[in-house]
Amino acid sequence: MTYPRITIDLKKIETNTRLLTDLCRQHDIEPVGVTKVTCGDPKVARAMLAGGMNMLAESRVENAIRLRQAGIDVPLMLLRLPMPSQAELVVENFQCSLNSELATIKALDRAAASVGKVHQVVLMVDLGDLREGILPEDVENTVAQIAPLAHIQLLGLGTNLTCYGGVIPSRDNLGRLLSLNKQAQAVYGQPLPVISGGNSSSLPLLLEGKLPPVTQLRLGEGIMLGRETVARQPIPGAHLDCFTLEAEVIELQTKPSVPIGEIGQDAFGGTPDFEDRGNHLRAIVALGRQDIAVDSLETPAGTDILGASSDHLLLDVTDYQQPLKVGDRLVFSPGYGALLAAMTSAYVSKEYCG
C-alpha cells in the first residue's frame, strides 16, 4: 500500500448514478454522466454506465481518448468549449460538443466534413453566470449562421450555471432557455430536441419538482459526492463517501502555535497570520498542495488544518479522539477541489473497491 491513497467505491458511484438517472427519467430528462473530476477514469465511467447512463461527458480530449482506449464506446460529449486547434480531435472523439463561438463551430464543420461525419452541437447561452455562452439576444442570429453548415447538427440550446458567478438555476433563467430554444427552432427550421439545463446545481429544483422542462442534465459532482451544488446539501439516499483519502503522519510533536522569529512570506508568497492557541499537538501529514486542494478537504473529527505547502499538511490534532503515533494514517473526505487534485496527482495512488 502506498500513501497518500484515494479509495474509489465503484458500487457507491453506481448506486448514486442509479438514484439520479431514475430521478431524471421520471421527469423526462436524459442525464449525461460527467467523469471529468476523475480525469476520465474508465472504471468510474463503467460504474456510471452500470448505473444507467447512456452518454458520458468530459472536459478534455485526453480523457475522452482514455475512455475510448479502455473500450468505452457510448456517445461522448465535450463540456469545455473546443479549442479550434483541436477541431479534428474533437470530431474524432466526441459525438457532440458544447459551443459558443461561431468560428469554432465552423472549424468543427470543416473537420467533420474532412472525415465524412456530422458533429452535433449544443449552443450555450449565458443566462447570467458569465462563464461560457452567447448572450440571449444573439441566439437567433447565431442559429441562422449555424443552419447552413452541412456537417453540423444543432441539437438545441444549453446553459451552465453556478460555476463562475454562482448564479442559481431558477424557473426564471431556465424558463428563459426554453423560450429561447423555441425561437431558435423557428430560425433553424428543424426540431431542436435538446435543452441542456445545467449541472448538479439544477438538482435542488429537480428534487423539489420545480425544474422547468429541460430535456438534459449533465451530472458530475452530484453523483461523485452525493450532494447538490447550490448549498451542497446531501441528496436524499445518496452516498456521500464514494471517495476517501488516506495519508500518513510523518511528524507528531507539541509545538507553539505562533512561529518564533521575524515573519516574512510563506512558501506560496502569502503573508501568514497566526492565532495563538498556546502549545498544541501538531501532526505533519505527507499530503500537500501537489495532491489536494486544502480548502475543500474535510479533515478527521477533532483535527484542524493549520496550513499546507507542496508536500506537507499541518494539522492541529489536540482534540483527535484516539492517541496518534507517527506512521498512523488519517482519513480525509475530499470536496470537489480536493478530489480533482487527488485524481490528477501522480503522487496519489488510486484504489478501487465495491
**Residues with a known catalytic role:** 36
Peptide linkage before 4 cis (omega within 30 of 0): yes
Give me the 193-212 binding string for ligand PLP, x by CB under 6 A, dash otherwise. ------xx------------
In the complex with ligand PLP, which residue's Cβ is closer, 215 or 229?
Answer: 229
| Given 120, 160, 173, 215, the residue binding ligand PLP (CB under 6 A) | 160
Grid cell digits, residue 78: 465535450
In the complex with ligand PLP, which residue's Cβ is closer, 234 or 272?
Answer: 234
Give me the 5-34 binding string for ligand PLP, x by CB under 6 A, dash otherwise. -----------------------------x
Contacts 24+ apart (CB under 8 A), 228-231: 228/200, 228/201, 228/203, 228/204, 229/162, 229/199, 229/200, 229/201, 229/203, 229/336, 230/162, 230/168, 230/169, 230/201, 230/204, 231/204
In the chain, count H helices and then E strands.
10, 16
In the complex with ligand PLP, which residue's Cβ is closer, 12 or 36?
Answer: 36
Q: Distance between CA 265 and CA 269 in Å, rounded? A: 5
Phi, psi dihedral angles at 100 (to 5 degrees): -140, 5
Assess 111 for contact with ligand PLP (CB under 6 A): no
Grid cell digits, residue 251: 511528524
Maximum Cα interatomic distance, the chain, rounded to a whole number of Å: 73
| Given 76, 79, 121, 340, the residue binding ligand PLP (CB under 6 A) | 79
In the complex with ligand PLP, which residue's Cβ is closer, 109 or 132?
Answer: 132
Assess 98 for contact with ligand PLP (CB under 6 A): yes
Give me the 229-268 binding string for ligand PLP, x by CB under 6 A, dash otherwise. x---------------------------------------
Give the sign of the dihedral formed by CA 25, CA 27, CA 32, CA 38: negative
CB of 217 to ligand PLP, least distance (A): 8
Phi, psi dihedral angles at 214 (to 5 degrees): -75, 165
Specify the 3-state DSSP secondary structure of 69.
helix
Assess 216 for contact with ligand PLP (CB under 6 A): no
Assess 222 for contact with ligand PLP (CB under 6 A): yes
Assess 59 for contact with ligand PLP (CB under 6 A): yes
Q: Select the residue whose beta carbon is closest to ligand PLP and give its number.
A: 220
| Given 133, 136, 197, 220, the residue binding ligand PLP (CB under 6 A) | 220
Grid cell digits, residue 67: 475512455
In the complex with ligand PLP, which residue's Cβ is closer, 247 or 343?
Answer: 343
* Spatial contact of 243 and 353, defined as CB atoms under 8 Å apart: no
| Given 12, 66, 176, 218, the residue binding ligand PLP (CB under 6 A) | 218
In the complex with ligand PLP, which residue's Cβ is closer, 34 or 174?
Answer: 34
Q: Distance between CA 159 and CA 161 in Å, rounded? A: 7
Per CB under 6 A, which region of 48-56, 218-226, 253-261, 300-308 contacts ligand PLP?
218-226
Q: Which residues bind ligand PLP (CB under 6 A)?
A: 34, 36, 59, 79, 98, 160, 199-200, 218-222, 229
